[in-house]
Each structure stands twice: as structure tokens, then as C-alpha cells.
Structure 1
Amino acid sequence: MHVVIAPDCFTGTLTAQQAARAIAHGWEASAPHDLLTLRPLSDGGPGFLDVLASALPEAQTLAVTVADPLGRDVPAAILITDTHGKRTAYLESAQAAGLHLLAADERNPAVTSTWGVGQLVDAALREGATRIVVGLGGSATNDAGAGLLAALGAGAPDDLARGGLALADISDGALSALAATRERFRDVEVVLATDVESPLLGLQGASAVFSPQKGASPETAQALEGALGRFVEVVRRTLPEQTDLLTGAARRLDKAPGAGAGGGLGYGLSLLGGTRVSGVAQVLEAVGFRDLLRAADLVVTGEGCFDWQSLQGKVVAGVAAMALETATPSVVIAGQTLVGRREAMTLGLSGSYAVAQTPAEVEAAMADPVGTLAARAARVAATWSPRA
């Protein structure tokens, strides 16, 4: 039997590559006769570049140094390919703005900035990229991409790069150079690869939904909502809004799906002409996943926690949808499973399996993530793989 092993990262414990190897190790223990193909995946968050680099051997990796969310130097990379006469640069925003770059007591989305992501984009421009794909996810920021825009020259760092809360006090002229910055991207296609469809503002927006995960108190989240609202007001005063050709109404970029991704990075990039795509769809296309599934008998995906968010654009949902298209059975092995059987079946999954279910099992899994994941994969293989 040919089994494709295609997990996302298990956030906080294993990278996608480590998870794939652990599942493969367990599978081989129960079904040594099976042919295994490992294809780690990402939805645009941490690991986005590693996954693409392994699937695009012809790509060149450019090492750069950028600022982390608090302004400290950190190493990052840009993946560059030249295909069909187009120079494409792949960036991972988490390398500059990721939550993993901060200690627990440093996490405060009121003061963190996306300046380093702007440095990455600027480096891609200087390399001659005519298409820039930015993976969004896992950010520690909530500044609507203001820091990114400052790094690209749209306004003064003192106004835009001091974190989301400082945007509450910016002047009407804080983005006076935004039009000139947009001009730099006239002939550049900017693609936002994300699993999040949230708008920038409102009950489903960046501040309300995601800032608490980054360390914001309820009071701070509310203040950030107001600050980002002020930022949108200044943007609308600075740039004339385009008109929707179908409705005749003004196009509100802050309300567009994905504007709230990366703490509003989606909004900042959309001001440069960026368009959103599904992050996992972008990765699946780049790695040739559909052709791989056509030659497979089973696909095993996975992630740290299989929950309601998994149903909305995450790796598991993307894998299950493509597996349905190719009539390939799919199962998920997750650290924890919080989704019922009915919900899993709506994705097209043939089974879902948890590494840990009780508090004691969760503690054991955190202490030995590789061993416990491999052990669970071995039991799943015994169920799915026919005996030789």
C-alpha cells in the first residue's frame, strides 16, 4: 500500500518535518511492507518556507537579517525561484513577526511591530522579484501591517512602528508617502497566503479574535480595536477608495477576507495591491500534491490540535478536500481531537485519531512528542494497512 504522510506542524512541539518522520517511524513498525511518501505541509504559518524549500529543489535561498517583533536582529530567509519568466520570492512572516520569537513575558501585541516583515519584502524587491508570496500566520503582532508599511517608506517609524496601540494617536498625515510606496509595487504581484479569512475589525477581526492568543487582556484587545480603527480612518483619508464595478460601492479593504490575518498584516499588504489566497492551497499546488494523491492508496495528515479552526482553511481541511477530489481515503492523527466524528466526516476524513485524550496522556505527549506520536501512528497503521 502507498501511504502519503502529509502533516502540518504540531505547534509548540514538532515541526511538520519532525511530525512526518515520527508518523512514518510508527507506521513502519506496524506495516513495514507499505511504501511511504513524506510530504510535510504548511498553511502559511511557521514552517512555510521549509516546506516549500523541500518541494522546490531548484529554488535559491537568500539569507537576510531582519528585526523581530521587538526590534532585535533575527535571521530570516527568502526563497527565490525563476519559472516561466517570472521571478518569485517566497517569504514567511513568522520569521520576523512570529510569536515563537518572544519569551512568554514579552508577548504583548500592543507594542509588537511588523517592521521586520517589511524588511523581508524590501529585500525581495531588491532581488528583482516580480511576484512576492507572503505566508501569514503565527504572528505576535496586531498593528494592521503599519510597521511593514513604515519599513517600506510609507511613513515615519515613530508613527507606525511602535506597535498597534500607538496607532490610536497618529495624525492624519502619518501615511503621506503611502501612494509613493504603492508605486514601487505597480509591476509586482503580491500574494497573501493565509488560512485566516477574518476581516481587520469587528467581532471576527484581528483584535477581538486573535490578540488574546498573543497576550492581550480584554481591555487591551478593545483598545487595539480602536487603534486599528483610527489607522483605517487615516488610510481612507490618504488614499482614494476604489469602486466595486458590480455594486458601485466603495471597496473596503479592511472588510475583505484575510485583512485580519497576521494581526492585520493582510490589510497592510492589501494596501500594496496584494490579493489573498488559501495558504494551504498555495503549498499543495507548489508541491504537486494532487498528482501525488492520484498514485496513493491513503493519505495521513496531522496537526497539534484538531479543532473547529481545522475546518476552516487549515492543512487538514486542505488535504481532506483534495483527497476527496482524487477519491483517496484520508485520516488525521492529532495531538488532541476536539472535533466530533460528524464534523470530521463533513471534511471527507475517513477517520480521526488523538495521541492524547486524558490529562495524563497530554502530559506524556508533551514530554515525548515524537515517541507518543509514533506509537499512535503504529496503532493507526495496524487498522488501515492490510497484512502482508
Structure 2
Amino acid sequence: MNILIAMDSLKGSLSSIEANKAIEKGLLQANPNFMIETVPVADGGEGTVEALVQATHGQFVEAVVTGPLGKPVTAKYGILGGLETAVIEVAEACGLPILSREELNPKLTTTYGVGELILDALQKGCRDFIIGLGGSATNDAGVGMLQALGYQFFDQEGESIGFGGGELKRITRMDSSKIPDQVKEVTFRVACDVNNPLYGTNGAAYIYGPQKGATPEMVDELDEGLRHFANVIIEQTGIDLQSITGAGAAGGLGATFAGLLKGQLQSGVQLILDVTKLEERLSAVDLVITGEGKLDGQTSMGKAPAGIAQLAQKGNIPVIALAGDVTDGNPSLYDSGITAYFTIVSGPVSLDVAMAPDVTRENLRRTAEQIGRVWGVASK
């Protein structure tokens, strides 16, 4: 009996790898003869580096880079098993968790450190990059990242602009003549699961600015800056950043990666499943176990368990999904290819208790053991 375990992280509780291990332990307690393979997965956000490094037997790298407010921060990224592909979560260099609530200010925060991570990986021989967007504290349209990569931005007086979303409205000219040749050779695959435009009422500033510390007045100013930046770019290069689906992701990083760095914006889940070669791994599998912290009607809309279930469905492989909380909705969880789903919480407890790592680990182990016992009987 071959079982593949591919859990997404249970955010705030266990990583994908930890969840997989707990389930594997429970299954083997039910039947030590089960043949089990575990594959860490993510959706392009938090946990993407860890999942892909582990899945490809790669390595972690640490680098000191410029943080969102200009202070040095230590950021971690991964180099995958082939030693040619780097995977970077932008939040490592410019993420919300780096700053206190009082420090949040998207007029000042910069993506410069993301560019420095790219340069560090370039120096180590990487030419292919997987970028996880999400969790950024910035709204600078990726201009800070571009500055680190060698792009220059000037105001009306010919002076270089500073850092942050508040500087975008000063830009009158971009100079890309000093970009290193190595940067021009790079390919980017970008995990992006939002479709927001760069500016406007559904753009980066209005939708995501407030959670990054922007006041209503600041949101208006940031949006004007994004609009101004897009106008400069289309006048100078002919590239229409506003027309790019997902341009508003991560404070406009989506626009810069897709428009100026020629990156490919992809579904985060699909990108991770492609890199981990999950479909190939399913060829000899009898059962798949997947899941995440919460399963609901939104699971079918680009979440990891749904992506895994859809691949398994091609081979008529049953899929069991586990979660701390389950609410079937519209569309139904069954529509995504999930055969059956279970909540791992055994009784009434507070959310804090339910999400405690040791409690979650034991709940996953116990539930997996029961699934293994039933599966063992049913498959005889």
C-alpha cells in the first residue's frame, strides 16, 4: 500500500514538513507495512522556501540585506537541488513581521533587500529564480529591488530618488544602462495568486496599503505614486504595467517582475506542484493525504489541497483531506477532487489550545492512525 502525504502548513501551528511527519507516524502505528512518501508543499507564500528546499534536497542560504526601513536584516533563501535555481520569499527581506506596528509606513519601506537577495544568489551561480510574493510591508512597485539590481531613477532635477512608496511621484526618468549582464540573463517564475491591478480602487495601495500601515490620506498619495510610475514606464518603454493581471501583488512587485524583469506570474500552488514534480510521484500511489489549517469553500480557489486533489483525480486516486477546521461551502470541497475530509480536533477547545503545535501534532497523528486502521481493513 503506497501512500503519499502532502500537507500544506497549518499556519500558526505546524509547518508542512512537521505536519507530514505527524501523519506518517500515525499511519505507521496503524500498519508498519505502509509504504509512505512525504512531499512538503506550499502556496507561494510563507513556507515556500522550506518546502522546495526539502522537496529537492537543496540548501538554505542566509544573507544580510537592507531591511524595509533601511536597517540590516538577516534573510534566508533557498537554492534547489540542481544548484541553478534560487527560491526567495520577498517577506524575508521586506515583510510585515520584520517591523513593529508602530514602524509600518509604506511611504518609507523599500524592497531593496529583495534585489540584494537576487544578487547574492546570482553570485552563487543561480540564473533561474522562483519568487514567492506575499506579506510585504512595501508599496514601492519594486523600485527598491530594481535600484539594488542596478536600475537608476531620477527626479526632475536629475537627482536620484530615495526609498519607499512616497518617492515614486518624484520619478521622471529610469536609466537601465548600468544593469549587470548577469541580471539580464535571469529568468523569474513568480508565485502570484491575486489579480489586482497596479493602481486604482482595486490596486495595491487601496486594497493592501491599510494593512501595511497606510492612513486614508497616505493611500491616496501612494496610489498617485503608483499611477505616476506606471505613466513614466509606459512613456519610456512602452510597457503598460497597469494592464498586467496581478501587477498590484506585494505592493506592485508583481508589476515589476512581470513588466520590467520579464517574469512569469503563475498560480503559487501550481508552481510549487510543478517544481516538486508531484504528478510524477503519484504514478504508483494508492492514497493521498493532504490538508491545511482550514478547509472551506475557498479551498477550491487555488489552495494547495485542491491543486493536489485535482492531480490525483486524473489517476482516480482517492484523496483524504485533514484540517483543524472544516466548513464545506460553495463550491463544495468534493468539487476539487477531495474524496473525504476530516477535522482533526476531537472536542470543544479554545482556538489557542487547538493551534498549539504539540496539540496539533498529536491530533494529526491520532487521526492518521484511525485512517490507517480503516484503510488497512478496507484494502484487504
Note closer, same or farther for the CA distance 1:21–1:93 as it changes in structure 2 (3 Å cut): same
Between the aligned partners of 2:220 and 2:347, the Cα distance in structure 1 is: 35
Asked if residue 68 in structure 1 is aligned to residue 67 in structure 2, the reply is yes
Determine helix, strand or coil for the equivalent of 1:10: coil
Q: 2:264 aligns with which of 266, 275, 279?
A: 275
Asked if residue 127 in structure 1 is aligned to residue 124 in structure 2, the reply is yes
Asked if residue 196 in structure 1 is aligned to residue 194 in structure 2, the reply is yes
Asked if residue 315 in structure 1 is aligned to residue 314 in structure 2, the reply is no
Which residue pairs with 1:50 in the alignment? 50
Which residue pairs with 1:386 in the alignment? 377
Note closer, same or farther for the CA distance 1:366–1:236 as it changes in structure 2 (3 Å cut): same
Contact 1:159 1:170 in 2 (8 A): no
Unpaired runs of at least 5, structure 2: none
Unpaired runs of at least 5, structure 1: 242-251
Partner letter of residue 198 of structure 2?
L
Asked if residue 348 in structure 1 is aligned to residue 337 in structure 2, the reply is yes
**Identical counterparts, % of pairs:** 34
Note closer, same or farther for the CA distance 1:375–1:260 as it changes in structure 2 (3 Å cut): farther
Between the aligned partners of 1:127 and 1:383, the Cα distance in structure 2 is: 49
Which residue pairs with 1:372 in the alignment? 363
Partner letter of residue 47 of structure 1?
G
Asked if residue 144 in structure 1 is aligned to residue 151 in structure 2, the reply is no
Determine helix, strand or coil for the equivalent of 2:365: helix
Determine helix, strand or coil for the equivalent of 2:184: coil
User: Bigger CA drift: 113-122 or 230-239?
Assistant: 230-239
Q: Compute the TM-score of the two structures, normalised by the length of structure 1.
A: 0.82
Between the aligned partners of 1:224 and 1:376, the Cα distance in structure 2 is: 48
Partner letter of residue 20 of structure 2?
A
Q: State the Cα distance separating 1:237 from its structure 2 match.
A: 3.0
Note closer, same or farther for the CA distance 1:282–1:105 as it changes in structure 2 (3 Å cut): same
Which residue pairs with 1:10 in the alignment? 10
Contact 1:192 1:275 in 2 (8 A): yes
Number of residues paired by the alignment?
371
Note closer, same or farther for the CA distance 1:77–1:346 as it changes in structure 2 (3 Å cut): same
Contact 1:196 1:313 in 2 (8 A): no
Which residue pairs with 2:245 in the alignment? 257
C-alpha RMSD over aligned residues = 3.2
Q: 2:315 aligns with which of 323, 326, 329?
A: 326
Determine helix, strand or coil for the equivalent of 1:360: coil
Which residue pairs with 2:223 in the alignment? 225
Between the aligned partners of 2:104 and 2:363, the Cα distance in structure 1 is: 30
Contact 1:81 1:89 in 2 (8 A): no
Which residue pairs with 2:292 in the alignment? 303
Contact 1:201 1:255 in 2 (8 A): no
Note closer, same or farther for the CA distance 1:337–1:159 as it changes in structure 2 (3 Å cut): farther
Between the aligned partners of 1:126 and 1:11, the Cα distance in structure 2 is: 33
Determine helix, strand or coil for the equivalent of 1:386: helix
Which residue pairs with 2:164 in the alignment? 163
Contact 1:139 1:263 in 2 (8 A): yes
Q: State the Cα distance separating 1:119 from its structure 2 match.
A: 0.6
Contact 2:197 2:245 in 1 (8 A): yes
Matches within 5 A, 1:24-103: 24-57=24-57, 59=58, 61-71=60-70, 72-79=72-79, 82=82, 87-103=84-100
Determine helix, strand or coil for the equivalent of 1:129: coil
Determine helix, strand or coil for the equivalent of 1:120: helix
Note closer, same or farther for the CA distance 1:106–1:341 as it changes in structure 2 (3 Å cut): same
Partner letter of residue 5 of structure 1?
I
Q: State the Cα distance separating 1:160 from its structure 2 match.
A: 6.0
Q: State the Cα distance separating 1:16 from its structure 2 match.
A: 1.4
Contact 2:60 2:76 in 1 (8 A): no
Asked if residue 291 in structure 1 is aligned to residue 280 in structure 2, the reply is yes
Contact 1:355 1:365 in 2 (8 A): no
Note the alpha carbon deviations across 1:237-274, whole angstroms, 9 max, x for none.
Answer: 33223xxxxxxxxxx33332232232321112121121
Q: State the Cα distance separating 1:40 from its structure 2 match.
A: 1.0
Note the alpha carbon deviations across 1:324-358, whole angstroms, 9 max, x for none.
Answer: 22221223222333442742122111123334599
Q: State the Cα distance separating 1:140 from its structure 2 match.
A: 3.0
Q: State the Cα distance separating 1:382 from its structure 2 match.
A: 5.2
Matches within 5 A, 1:208-247: 208-216=206-214, 220-241=218-239
Which residue pairs with 1:245 in the alignment? none
Q: State the Cα distance separating 1:381 from its structure 2 match.
A: 4.4
Note closer, same or farther for the CA distance 1:47–1:346 as it changes in structure 2 (3 Å cut): same
Partner letter of residue 289 of structure 1?
L
Contact 1:167 1:231 in 2 (8 A): no
Q: State the Cα distance separating 1:212 from its structure 2 match.
A: 4.3
Q: State the Cα distance separating 1:153 from its structure 2 match.
A: 2.4
Between the aligned partners of 2:332 and 2:249, the Cα distance in structure 1 is: 24
